[in-house]
Structure 1
Amino acid sequence: MLLHDKVAVVYGAGGAIGAAVARAFASEGARVVLTGRSLGPVDAVAEQIIAAGGSADAAQVDALDEPAIDRHLQSVIDAAGRVDISFNAVGIPNAEILGVPLVDLEAGLFALPVTTYAMSYFLTARLAARRMVARASGVIMTVTASHARTGIPSVGGYGPAMAAKEALTRALSAELAPRGIRVVGLRPQAMPESRTIRDAYEPRAEALGMTWDQWLEVLAGRTHPRRLMTLAELADMAAFLASDRASGVTGTTLNLTMGSLDD
């Protein structure tokens, strides 16, 4: 197993991406601690993991509340002795932002995803790193989107938010890699199984002038295999990147857009 005996904390584990990554980590032997702002969704995922024979715990943690994150991480250290992997999959869908042209968007709504995504990633990464340096070992991870590298209309500050997270991945790695900690990200294009892509489509449906199926066909047509990535493919890649088999990968965001974006 790729992650045998590893301890992984997943933030935003009640969402589609966080849940898929948590399940993949557990299937590869990790002890997974799932967190979210609401306990119900993460509890449900933890129960699924346990029913499948994995090891999982759930906790209610606001990934923008630094003291809460700190207290929870210390409880993980007290129980498990260490944290090997920190994965931030926190999301903030907001229908007031999507579908509104930038020239019409209120400044506070523009700033909301930029500050929220970057701050959540910064807080969870920083607090995990402080625990990891003692062992000179650990992996800090997050997920972004194609918005980071290409212009997409009517998505407000989500593009700058994703770009900020990718810049933070590089900066964190430059500081932490000499201390034994890898920092990596994953950038998928779109995954129809995730609620995120539906949230991105619905407010913009009229402006796009496409049905849901037509829009998915357009997105798939931009990839080399003419299909979109699945959650399982993303999660399997996350498990590999979190493992010691990927020890040479740090300071980068892996392009999982299936050829729709060039690096």
Structure 2
Amino acid sequence: MNNRKEKDMLLEGKNVVVYGAGGAVGSAVACGFAQEGARVFLTGRNPDVVDTVRKEISAAGGAAESAVVDALDEKSVTGHLDAVVADAGRIDVSFNAIGISPRGLQGIPLAELPVDDFMRPVTTYAQAHFVTAQSAARHMIPQGSGVIMMHTPEPARVSLPLVGGMSVGWAAMEALNRALSAEWAQHGVRSICLRTTGMVGTPVIDVVYGLHADALGIPVDQFTAAAAAMTHRKRPTALAELTAVAVFLASGQASAMTGTVANLTGGLIVD
């Protein structure tokens, strides 16, 4: 990081809040934001996990602070953002990377899935993303700029079996992304969603692929290979690829992009 000239940093002087910063996606993107000069405010429900990410960023020469925030709790989110703005003066990017455990939610046929388990990802993702986006926009609209960002995997768009209510929840996020842009882009607040394949090697996908392989009665390596084969390039999205695009989309170089989904599925989905 210290070898980069400040003028080359895409996010120099930007203040970024990351929700779910202790997860694989949240932590990787937060580190990418910090490497490009942003001051990163890391949040999550597990203070030890989030603080580990803060220490990693600080050790690399970046600026980061951590706090316990529940993205589903409006008071928790608004209180934290008010404190961030009071300290930093503004909020430039809000990236929500929260996730929920797939256990008991995926790998189960819809005909056998309890209603509560079907609805959990739908309500969780819709509520958390609305709460964090709305809270950020209340600061961004008066300042005339800002970026709201979220991440979905490919079942938000393609029909895949045994994903339960997850696909509905992710599709709702992409619809929310478009709705936010329709109202807020005119005030300088962009809304962007990044869509990837499952990212092999991340803890959540290791569990997900295991659940699906078990449900289909095949080895997990066979399921993983089949998933990769569905893409044009025959390999899944890498976490580093998601991070690089997230940094670009958060920067002023992507100022014309809003209300859209950045397709990083490697050809699995063709627009």
Matches within 5 A, 1:1-263: 1-263=9-271
CA contact (8 A) 2:102 2:204 kept: no
1:19 deviation in Å?
A: 0.4
Instruction: Return 5+ residue gaps in structure 1 as ranges.
Output: none
1:104-125 deviation per Cα after TM superposition (whole angstroms, max 9, x unaligned)? 1111110000000011000000
3-state DSSP of counterpart to 1:144: strand
Q: How many residues align?
A: 263
The whole-number CA distance in structure 2 between the counterparts of 1:254 and 1:209 is: 34
Q: Matched residues in 2 for 1:233 and 1:262: separation? A: 18
242-251 or 94-103: bigger deviation: 94-103
Note if contact 1:97-1:109 (Cα within 8 Å) is conserved in structure 2. Answer: yes
Query: What is the TM-score of this pair, normalised by structure 1?
Result: 0.98
User: 3-state DSSP class of the match of 1:134?
Assistant: helix
Counterpart CA distance in 2 for 1:251 and 1:67 is 27
User: AA paired with 1:169?
Assistant: N
Q: Which residue of 1 aligns with 2:6?
A: none
Alpha carbons 1:16, 1:193 under 8 Å: kept = no
Report the Cα distance in structure 1 between the residues aligned to 2:12 and 2:235, rounded to whole angstroms. 32
1:59 alignment partner AA: A
Contact conserved, 2:102 with 2:208, CA < 8 A, in 1? no
User: How many Å apart are 1:97 and its aligned residue?
Assistant: 1.2
Amino acid at match of 1:195: P
In the TM superposition, residue 202 of structure 1 has moved relative to its aligned partner by 2.0
CA-based RMSD: 0.9
* Aligned partners of 1:183 and 1:250 also within 8 Å: yes
Cα displacement string for residues 180-232 of structure 1 (whole angstroms, at most 9, x for unaligned residues): 00000000011112222112122222222332222221111111221112111
Contact in 1 for aligned 2:200/2:236 (Cα 8 Å) = yes
Q: Deviations over 1:25-67 (max 9, x none)?
A: 0000000001001111110011000001101001000000100
In percent, how many aligned pairs have the same letter? 51
